[in-house]
Structure formats: C-alpha cells, structure tokens
Structure 1
Amino acid sequence: MVVDIVRTLEKEGIPRESYQLASEVDPEALARLLDSGGGAVEVRLEVRAVSLVVTSAGVWVTDEDPSPRPECPECGLLVTDVVQLVPTHHTAYPCGCQVRGDLLE
C-alpha cells in the first residue's frame, strides 16, 4: 500500500524526496485500519496538495477537495483525526484532547 501511495504521487509529479510519507500518515495504522474494515473502509488523505483515496483495493487521486478540518473544541488546534481506542473514549489528533466521536463526520 505504501508503495502504491508513493507511485501514485510520482505519477502526479511529486518526487519522493519532497515529502516524508511517515510524517503525513502512519503507514502501519493505515494498513491496520484497511485490514480491519473488510473492504468497507475508505481513507482520504492529502500529500503535497494531492488528494488521495486509499482503500484495500488500491490508491487513486481524487479531484475532490479535502474537507476543512475542524478546530478542537478544547484547545482550538486543527483536528486531523479522531482516534477511538474504546467505545466511549475519542481522542483528537494531534492535540490529544478528549472529544466527541462525530467531530469529523
């Protein structure tokens, strides 16, 4: 999957040396998420202004603009992800504040 992301970005003219994929997305967490979803999970991410859709079936570029990121209701930082470790606990990323689970929906 990581190789597919890198190749897709190269096709869009983004050279490998212009970004560090691990700073844009956690490849291991992404793989676990896709594996756990049984084909029903679709992850959208942006690397160097290229919007990507990643599924267990592959990676492709989308023309859709990524949705604007909300501010954390606790600290005001932009929220890029909400992590749920147990059903009742949702943590905003990157700030680490506890938030409601539907913050990014």
Structure 2
Amino acid sequence: MPRSNRPRHRGRRARGMNGVEEQDDFARLRAGLRRTETKRGVAWTVQPISPERALKEYTCPGCHTMVPIGQAHIVAWPAEHLFGDEQGVAERRHWHSHCWRMA
C-alpha cells in the first residue's frame, strides 16, 4: 500500500519529545530565559520581559524613572533569600535593561 504524505492528525499542534507543545517552547524563547547573575557578590535571578509581556508601569530602582508599558526590561530578585524563595520573589524589581547592566 502506498504511503500517504498527508498529516494524520489535522488540527493538532506539533509536540516535542517531552510532550510540550513546540509553540510553547518558542514563546518561552521569545520571552527570554531565566538565568542567575552575580552582581557585587550577590547572586540574582534575572528574567527578561518581552514588550508583549510588559503590561504594567514600574519604577526602575536604578534610575528611579518609569519603565513604561510595552517596553522590554529585566526583572531581578535575590537568588537565595534569607527568608526563602517566596520572599525573594516577592522582592523582585523591574529594571531598565541598561540600568541593570550598569548596576
């Protein structure tokens, strides 16, 4: 019997090897990957925020001006907080990307 070149499952999204949808993986890559950086002897967890995900205004702790809605920026919080990870995340701050690099 000849082989069919048509996809068998119309309407389904392609899934990666671990079962996660490939479109979700692409969205995560576009949004930016969380990483750990060390600044002045302190480890920080850093998460880039894409313009599409920047839905609020924040005050940058580096320059004390506003990070406007729709501007790509960085969110940072202590990687190891004295009172636990939840408290560290609660103390996260939104920085202009330039201000974070200069800090």
Which structure would you say has the larger RCO, counting Cα contacts within 8 Å and 6 or more residues apart? Answer: 2
- TM-score using structure 2 length: 0.26
